Amino acid sequence: DIPSIKNSIANIFLTSPGQKILNPTFGIDLRRYLFDSVSEFTAFQIKTDITNNLTDQEPRIQLERTTVIPDRENQEYYITLQINVPALNAYGLSLQSLLNSNGYYVI
């Protein structure tokens, strides 16, 4: 179901590769970007990480589009994923989230 997919995506974003002993390649660890200055360049790196890795780690989804918008004033990133979940016949779902020093949150 959709809530379990959202939870899975959050786990992928917050888990560091190597953190899961039985699955050492699992995770993207977007938190590592929070130590860099919030910038367009870092937003591009986050987008690239998501685009290159998310569907390998969450095979239930098809990633149609990723948008990462930096908010320098609040030191955070707004992330929007446009996904399809073919098994649930769900297409064009938009998942909006926030990445900041407190973590990753679906909004």
| 18-63 confidence digits (pLDDT tens) | 999 999 999 999 999 988 889 999 999 999 999 999 999 999 999 9
What is the value of pTM for the model shown?
A: 0.92
The yes-or-no verdict on residue 64 having pLDDT over 90 is yes
pLDDT reading at 91 higher than 90: yes
Provide the token pair at 25. 């390649």
How far apart, in whole angstroms, are the C-alpha atoms of residue 7 and residue 47?
19
Q: With bands split at pLDDT 50, 70 and 90, how would you rate the model's confidence at 88?
A: very high
pLDDT at 93 over 90: yes
Cβ neighbors of 25 (< 8 A, separation 6 or more) are 17
Say whether pLDDT at 103 is over 90.
no
Question: What is the percentage of the chain residues whose pLDDT exceeds 70?
Answer: 100
Alpha-helical (H) ranges within the chain are 2-14, 40-57
The span from the CA of 69 to the CA of 72, in Å, is 10
